[in-house]
Amino acid sequence: MQEELNWKTFLDEERNKDYYIKLKQLVMQDSITHKVFPPTNEIYNAFKLTPISDIKVVIIGQDPYHEIGQAHGLAFSVRDGVKLPPSLKNIYKEIESEFGYKMSNSGDLTKWAKQGVLLLNSSLTVNEGMPASHKGYGWEIFTSEVVKLVNSKLSGIVFLLWGRHAQEYEKYIDSSKHFILKTTHPSPFSVKYGFEGCGHFKKANDILLSQGKQVIDWQI
């Protein structure tokens, strides 16, 4: 059983599948003519930082930030010292509103990942300056397999699904054994239509507490 709850085993299996071999070829082709983000050694950071057995919360983003120095393999997260992107700013505002404390200017969410928050992007790579440029390459299949694995092997996980894109993964989640919190995406275009005031971070902690799990310290 322990062998099954291991990202290495999962990743090794996926890398041998036809869709992944094609996906890798497409990303490599793009890397000849474009800068691809994040750097190769950081593409799987979410898995390095959050072992399967440690997962408590799953947050699904879209694709990595597409400007130099931003993306480092965690959804919504940017490297320390990089200006906060608008969606992350709105996430921070919501956390400040819910808990009453001040968030820092650092957008590095590694602290969350190390506490069991799987920060999973739908696409794990992107070309510089070209949002959604790797959409349809096969990453969505990969992300679906990740969600299916978490769904089948674990229980009591809190899935935060923000926006229609993330909510497409709801069909892979058994709501009788997991918890799904849905609202709009935190981007400036949709934040006012549900995300603002959603209470998701406190709600997630309340769910964890009800299961006797350690809550997430959301403060950065």
Which residue in the list 63, 80, 174, 206 is annotated as catalytic?
Answer: 63
- pLDDT tens, position by position, 140-166: 999 999 999 999 999 999 999 999 999
* Span 168-202, pLDDT tens digits: 999 999 999 999 999 999 999 999 999 999 999 99
Q: Is 217 a catalytic residue?
A: no
pLDDT number for residue 56: 98
User: What integer pLDDT is reported at residue 178 of this predicted model?
Assistant: 98
Under 8 Å between Cβ of 86 and 18: no
CA 65 to chain CA centroid, Å, is: 12
Residue 4's pLDDT is what? 56
* Mean of the per-residue pLDDT values of the chain: 95
How high is the pLDDT of residue 132?
87
- For position 60, what pLDDT does the model report? 97
d(CA 92, CA 16): 39
Please, what sign has the CA dihedral across residues 11, 12, 18, 20? Answer: positive
pLDDT of residue 153: 95
Tell me the pLDDT tens digit for each residue of 15-25: 999 999 999 99
User: What local confidence, expressed as pLDDT, does residue 1 receive?
Assistant: 34
Task: Give the model confidence (pLDDT) of 113-132 as tens digits.
Answer: 999 999 999 999 999 999 98
pLDDT, residue 5, reads 78
Q: Is 210 exposed, middle or buried (0-12, 13-18, 19+ CB in 10 A)?
A: exposed
